[in-house]
Amino acid sequence: MQPLQMHFSQESKYIPMSYSQIKTYTSEPEQEIVGIKNSFEEHVSLAGKETYRPRVMFYNFFGEKLFGIVSRPYVDQSDYISSIAEMMYAYSALSSNSAVILLDSNITKGGQVVGNCLNAYFLSHESAHAVTLPYEHAPDNKVIWKASEESVKEVEMNKNTGMPQEMLELAYAFSHIDTAPFAVPELLSYYTSMGFVFRAFKTLGYTYIDYTENNT
* Residue pLDDT, tens place only, 25-67: 999 999 999 999 999 999 999 999 999 999 999 999 999 999 9
Amino acid at 189: S
CA 121, CA 164: separation in Å to the nearest integer? 10
- Binned at pLDDT 50, 70 and 90, residue 167 comes out as confident
Please state the rounded mean pLDDT for residues 67-90.
96
Greater confidence, 198 or 112?
198
Residue 14 has pLDDT above 60, yes or no: no
* Per-residue pLDDT at 4 exceeds 50: no
Provide the percentage of residues in the chain whose pLDDT is more than 90: 71
In tens, the pLDDT along 131-141 reads 999 999 998 99
State residue 65's pLDDT score: 95
User: In whole angstroms, what is the distance from residue 39 CA to residue 70 CA?
Assistant: 12
Q: Count the Cβ atoms, other than its own, within 10 Å of residue 142.
A: 12
From 69, 70, 67, select the one nearest 59 (Cα to Cα): 67
Average pLDDT over the chain, rounded to an integer: 88
